[in-house]
Amino acid sequence: MTDRQLECIIAIADHKSLTGAAKQLYVSQSSLSQMLTKAEKELGVLLFSRTGTSMVPTYAGDQYLKAAGEISEIKQTLAYRLKDINQSRQGRITIGISPKRSALFMPVVLSTYMKRYPEVEIVFLEEDQHRLEDMALQGKVDLAFVTNPLMKKQLEYEYLYREYILLALPYPHPLNDILDESQPVDLHLVKDVPFILTRTGHDIRRLCDQAFSDFHISPDIQLESHSMDLCFQMTAYGIGATMIPDTLAKGHPFQNLSRCYRIGEAYSRYVAIVYRKNMYMSYILKEFISIASEQIIGKYKNDTAD
């Protein structure tokens, strides 16, 4: 069981195909197929069942992949321990984060971290929010920034702050004369206001729909977008109202062209850093978590939030 075999078989399992794995590994599909055949012959078992172009791990394949993950973690832990003997300031940190959260958090964090640890390589794996905890669990990233954590028992969570969902109205809107930014807004007041919302499937949209349902109103949804930022900009230009997290509104270039109101305690979610339980924490990783927590909480935590 060589390191190269481990890498190739894990890649095939991840992609569920020789084609995708070969592209990732920069090898030809035929050479990868030959490597797999050789490994299966040496082991005396089939590691994958072939169904058309799909490669699905067999029971033996599942056992191989489990052992491969354990071997990889042991090797990574050893490498970290050896580096940390002298509190090494070199190494690599792989971060899982959503594209939007990356734009909000990473400039704040890295502006401090990279000044202190310029020799550390930072790698971003930007993925949809719902995949990040699995990536941390599988060891594909050292840590991930998540919202609305799923609380998987194999993961450790460090909470940063509570993020509230806000109703945003264009600045020149008559309701701004009667609404109070310090008080939760009654959504009945906006039942006839046109809305620009994120598309169904987004966590923000789920909270929006829950709020509308709780207030027993059917909003006039004029436009939908995958981009929260675009929804907020459209509101700033007077096209309609939207709902966004307070993290996005804070310091946004269009913040002064809109007015934002908290809806209520129930329409919020927690933001956390997540990593595998009992994993070895290198010196540079512990420092990254410490600096990230300090910088993000300092910029985004609301004084009245939990």
The model's pLDDT over 148-167, given as tens digits with 9 standing for 90+, comes to 888 889 999 999 999 999 99
Least confident of 64-68, 214-218, 226-230, 287-291: 64-68
* Rama region for 249: left / alpha / beta (φ>0; ψ in -120 to 50; rest): alpha
Which structural domain range is residue 294 located in? 84-160+270-300
CB atoms within 10 A of CB 57: 19
Residue 305 lies in a domain: no
Instruction: Please tell me what DSSP assigns to residue 176.
Output: G
Average pLDDT for the chain: 89
Pairing of β 242-245 and β 155-170: antiparallel
Do 207 and 65 share a structural domain? no
Residue 166's pLDDT is what?
95
Do 169 and 150 share a structural domain? no
Residue 306 lies in a domain: no
Do 285 and 204 share a structural domain? no
Do 89 and 145 share a structural domain? yes
- What average pLDDT score do residues 95-118 get? 93
User: Of the candidates 54, 81, 108, which is a domain's last residue?
Assistant: 81
Residue 304's pLDDT is what?
44
In the predicted model, is pLDDT for residue 34 greater than 50? Answer: yes
Integer distance in angstroms from the first to the last C-alpha of the chain?
A: 50
The Cα–Cα gap between 276 and 153 comes to 9
Least confident of 51-55, 84-88, 156-160: 84-88
What is the CATH classification number for the domain harbouring 146?
3.40.190.10
Residue 305's pLDDT is what?
42
Q: HSE on the CB side for 121, CA within 13 Å?
A: 4
> Minimal CA–CA distance to 219: which of 183, 257, 186, 193?
193
Sign of the Cα torsion 287, 289, 294, 295 reads: positive
Looking at the structure of the chain, the number of domains it has is 3
Residue 65 lies in a domain: yes
- What average pLDDT score do residues 86-93 get? 77
User: Percent of the chain beyond pLDDT 70?
Assistant: 96
